[in-house]
Amino acid sequence: MAYNSPNRAVMFKGLVLDHAGDPLADAQIWGVGKSYYGRSPDTTDKDGRFEALVVQFDSEVDVEVSYRKPRDSDKKLDVFFQGGYAPRVSSMTVERLLAQLPGSYKLDETKAYPSWWKSATGVGPACSIRWSSQRHRWHLMVGERVLFAFPGDDDGQGGSPVGDGWQPTRDLATESLTVLKCHRARKVISEKFGPYHTGPAGNFVDLGEFKTGA
């Protein structure tokens, strides 16, 4: 439900904080009617503020804050290029391989060393993250071709492939590649605050701070 005129609705604003009290950017905000059926959206800016949550007047409303948080384990990993797009390179063959890398990888715990595999798309060889005991590093691969590598722990053990230090292999060193990242998969968490009484139409209401567990 949306209201295009503030004379027929109420405008909420507020500041969303994480668990440490720092501003939480890019959080999804919902005004959820309790005395009426409807949901209205807004998002927080880089300073954690939302200022245009339009809700029905003379009503009871909850404010729902949704944000993404890394999962607590490495069972699912997200691989992506900074900026969201695979880089353009001189070789069309390599470019097609690079375009296959981004996505969600699931842990296979049946091997001596853990490995992660991207869900098969039915097109081309499988993408995987595998430990090289010979080189003491993690490999990001399409089929059996290594495209990126990530160092293991100082003691020569695998550790975790999660991080921003992935480097292209030697045959890609001359290319200008976008940074590749490997992070734990994120889950969406929603927290509800309220209820709040909206008051008469035309009101602009500052709800203050919303401290979340983010």
Q: Which of 44-53, 78-87, 161-170 has the highest mean pLDDT?
A: 44-53
Amino acid at 153: D
The 3-state secondary structure of 50-66, one letter per residue: EEEEEECCCCEEEEEEE
CA distances from 211 to 144, 186, 192 (A): 47, 20, 11
List b or e across 73-93, with b for residues whose CB sees 16 or more CB atoms inside 10 angstroms: ebeebbbbbeeeebbebeeee
Which range (53-57, 117-121, 200-204, 209-213) has the least confidence?
117-121
Contact (CB, 8 A) for 146 and 169 = yes
What is the number of other CB atoms lying within 10 angstroms of the CB of residue 175? 16
Cα–Cα distance, 47 to 24 (Å, whole number):
7
Residue-range domains of the chain with CATH: 6-69+187-211 (2.60.40.10), 76-184 (no CATH)
Q: What is the pLDDT of residue 50?
A: 98
Per-residue pLDDT at 182 exceeds 70: yes
Q: Which of 87-91, 155-159, 204-208 has the highest mean pLDDT?
A: 204-208
Alpha helices in 40-175 (DSSP H): 92-100
pTM for this predicted structure: 0.64
Q: What is the pLDDT of residue 209?
A: 97
Per-residue pLDDT tens digits for 109-153: 887 778 999 977 666 789 999 999 888 899 999 999 999 999 987
Among 145, 150, 174, smallest CA distance to 164 is for 150
